[in-house]
Amino acid sequence: MVKLAIFDIDYTLTKKETLMEFFKFMIKKDLKNIRYIPRALLSGIMFITRAFDEKQTKETFLKFIEGMEETQVDKLVKEFYNERINSIVYKDAINMINKMKSKGYLIYLISASPEFYLNEFYNIKQVDKIIGTKYITSDGRHTRRMDGLNCKGEEKVRRLREELIKENIEVDYKDSYMFSDSLSDKPLFDLVGNPYLINFKKDSKGIKILNWK
């Protein structure tokens, strides 16, 4: 049996939300993308007022990648990782990844953010598996349509188990770890014997808190 060290990404590994950072990066790369700011604001308002669920919100927000060639997006996300992500990763998060890896844990990153750019986190050589929200590509081009469900809450557990079955991996959950900034990850917290909240300021429901910089 293997032991897992599972990490959320936004506000857990990174100091900022990666999807918003990607949008800002895309505007910087091409100022024409400014035209998508009203749509981004609308998607946020619709989510706050509960007119949209998270899937509808993200599909509305991601209009700025629709129709782009996969090869073009692949190049952009590599630049995004090197130019922006590297500067917003918590040093304490990397130290924890290194520590857990040295103890023989498999390192899994599981996030609701888009997998098409999260895959760049494989640049962290200790990472064994990345699971994020999938989006449909068609005829070599990106769409903003989600492939399945938003990878959040119970869906994270379902996707994790799906990958483990696919790779024939049996897990010792009691000795596994989960790190996240949010109680929305309670399904994963409940799965492991060692849950930790990162930089959490509210009632932690008894879950231990780590403060990362």
- Predicted confidence band at 46 (pLDDT cuts at 50, 70, 90)? confident
How does pLDDT run across 132-149, given as a tens digit for each residue? Answer: 999 999 999 999 999 999
Sign of the Cα pseudo-torsion (117, 120, 124, 129, in order)? positive
Indicate the SS3 state at residue 150.
Answer: coil
Q: Are 47 and 54 in contact (CB under 8 A)?
A: yes
In 54-107, which ranges are continuous DSSP H helix? Answer: 54-61, 70-83, 91-102
Give the mean pLDDT of 182-189: 97
Give the mean pLDDT of 156-182: 97
What is the per-residue pLDDT for 123? 96
What is the per-residue pLDDT for 134? 97
Length of the chain measured in residues = 213
What is the per-residue pLDDT for 42? 85
**Yes or no: domain 4-210 corresponds to CATH 3.40.50.1000:** yes
pTM over 0.85? The answer is yes
**Average pLDDT of the residues of the chain:** 96
What is the per-residue pLDDT for 9? 98
Q: Are 8 and 179 in contact (CB under 8 A)?
A: yes
What is the per-residue pLDDT for 169? 96
What is the per-residue pLDDT for 78? 97
80 CB burial (10 A radius; 0-12, 13-18, 19+)? buried
Q: Give the tokens for residue 192.
A: 């492991």
Rounded to whole angstroms, how far apart are CA atoms 23 and 76?
11
